A and B are shown apart, each in its own frame.
Chain A
Amino acid sequence: MLLIESCRLTWPDFTANYSLKVPTGHLCAVVGPSGGGKTTLLHMIAGFEVPESGTLAFAGQDLLPLTPAERPVAIVFQDHNLFPHLTASQNVALGLQPSLRLTGRERALVTDMLDAVGLSGFDQRRPGEMSGGQRQRVAFARALISGRPLILLDEPFSGLDPGLRRDMVQLVDELRRRRPVTIVMTIHTPEDVADLADQMAFVTHGEVAASGTPADILQGPLAARVAASILDE
Chain B
Amino acid sequence: MKLRSRLPHPGNVTALAIAALVAGSFIALATVDGGKPALFSIGPYLIRVLAFSVIQAGLSTILSLALGVALALALARRRFFGRDVVLSLLSITMVMPTIVAVFAVLAVYGRSGWLAEALGALGWNGSFTIFGYPGILIAHVFLNAPFVARITLDGLDLVPAEQWRLAASLGFTPAQTFRHLDWPVLRAELAGLAGLVFLMCFKSFAIVLALGGGPSRATLEVAIYEALKIDLDFGRAAWLALIQLAICLFMMLVLDWAFARPPATHTMRAQVRRPDEANRRLKIIDALILVGGGLFIAPLALSVLRGLRNIFDVVDADLLQAFATSAAIATAAALVACGLALSLASAARRRMISRSRRLAAVYDFLPNSLLAVPPFALTAGLFLMIRPFVDPAMAGLILLPLINGLAALPFAYRYIAPRLMTTEERYGRLAASLGMTGLTKLRIVDWPVLRRPLVASFALAMALSFGDFGVIALFGGAELRTLPYLLYERLGSYRLDEAAAVGLIIVLAAFLLAHVSGRMSHAAD
Contacts and interface: CB of A to CB of B under 8 A. Distances in A.
Interface in A58-114: 67-71, 73-75, 77-81, 83-86, 94-95, 98-99
Interface string B147-183: 0000000000000101101101111110010001100
Interface in A167-198: none
User: Which one of A73, A80, A146 has the highest number of Cβ atoms from chain B below 10 Å of its Cβ?
Assistant: A80
Interface string A21-50: 000000000000000000000010011100
B184 A84 contact: yes
A83 B180 contact: yes
Nearest to A90: B180
B165 A68 contact: yes
B171 A69 contact: yes
Contacts of A47: 168-169
Nearest to A94: B170
User: Which one of A68, A79, A81 has the highest number of Cβ atoms from chain B below 10 Å of its Cβ?
Assistant: A68
B358 interface: no
Nearest to A77: B162
A98 B169 contact: no
A48 B162 contact: no
B171 to A, nearest CB: 3
B493 interface: no
Contacts of B165: 43, 46, 48, 68, 75, 77
B169 A74 contact: yes
Size category, A interface: 20 to 34
B173 A98 contact: yes
Contact of A80 (B160, B168, B180, B272): B160
B166 A75 contact: yes
Contacts of A68: 165, 168-169, 171
B162 to A, nearest CB: 4
Nearest to A139: B166
Nearest to A70: B171
Interface in B157-216: 160, 162-163, 165-166, 168-173, 176, 180-181, 184
Contacts of B176: 98-99
A69 B168 CA distance: 6
B169 A75 contact: yes
Contacts of A46: 165, 169
B168 A48 contact: yes
Contacts of B163: 80, 83
A146 B267 CA distance: 25
B266 interface: yes
A69 B169 CA distance: 4
Contacts of A48: 165, 168, 272
Contacts of A73: 169
Contacts of B275: 69
B341 to A, nearest CB: 34
A67 B275 CA distance: 10
Nearest to B165: A48
Nearest to A71: B169
A197 to B, nearest CB: 23
Interface string B431-471: 00000000000000000000000000000000000000000
A85 B171 CA distance: 19
B170 A95 contact: yes
User: Which one of B169, B176, B272 has the highest number of Cβ atoms from chain A below 10 Å of its Cβ?
Assistant: B169
A47 B165 CA distance: 9
A95 B169 CA distance: 10
A98 B166 contact: no
A135 to B, nearest CB: 12
Contacts of A70: 171
Given A79-B267, A80-B162, A98 B170 contact: yes
B180 A86 contact: yes
Contacts of B166: 75, 77, 81
A95 B168 CA distance: 12
Nearest to A74: B169
A67 B168 contact: yes
B137 to A, nearest CB: 33
Contacts of A75: 165-166, 169
B169 A81 contact: no
A80 B164 CA distance: 10
A98 B169 CA distance: 11
Nearest to A83: B180
Contacts of B160: 79-80
15 contacts: A48-B272, A69-B171, A73-B169, A75-B165, A75-B166, A75-B169, A77-B166, A80-B160, A80-B163, A83-B184, A85-B184, A86-B180, A94-B170, A94-B180, A98-B170
Interface of A: 43, 46-48, 67-71, 73-75, 77-81, 83-86, 94-95, 98-99, 146
The 7 closest A-B pairs by CB, nearest first: A69-B171, A80-B160, A80-B162, A77-B162, A68-B168, A68-B169, A85-B184
